[in-house]
Amino acid sequence: MAAKKSITAGKIYISASFNNTLVTVTDEKGAAIVWGSSGASGFKGTRKATPFAATTAVEKVIKKAKDDYGLSEVEIYVKGPGPGRDAALRAIRAQGIKISLIADITPIPHNGPRPKKKRRV
């Protein structure tokens, strides 16, 4: 395995669904260095979907990124409507990492799929 390089600035992608919260830390080019989730943090079933589980997942990932790579400044990209959104942001702020950008990249349909046919009674 190659030696771990020092990455001071990076990006954090948070995908918050109704069932789980995924956290990925990448370098500036977008190559993943550390990732984790509520499920990987030991939560199962409906407890994965809680803000506490999201906080725990973020804390684990940030600690690993700080210890192994020296991460100190991040851009945060949040996707999805789940309950872990705000909790994840609070957890990152509490870890003492400088946040340069917070962006919401939730996909929004401009027109969406074709609607169901009109009901005839």
Averages of pLDDT over each 10 residues, the chain, 121 residues: 78 96 96 96 95 96 94 96 94 94 95 92 86
| pLDDT for position 18 | 96
Res 91: pLDDT = 95
The answer as to whether 80 is a domain residue is yes
Any idea what the CATH number is for the domain that residue 23 is in?
3.30.420.80
Determine the structural domain holding residue 37 and report its residue range: 9-104
Is 87 contained in some domain?
yes
Q: Is residue 60 situated within a structural domain?
A: yes
Is 19 among the domain residues? yes
Q: Does residue 58 belong to any structural domain of this protein?
A: yes
Domain count, the chain: 1
In SS3 terms, 24-91 reads as: EEECCCCCEEEEEECCCCCCCHHHHHCHHHHHHHHHHHHHHHHHHHCCCEEEEEEECCCCHHHHHHHH
**Model pLDDT, residue 3:** 57
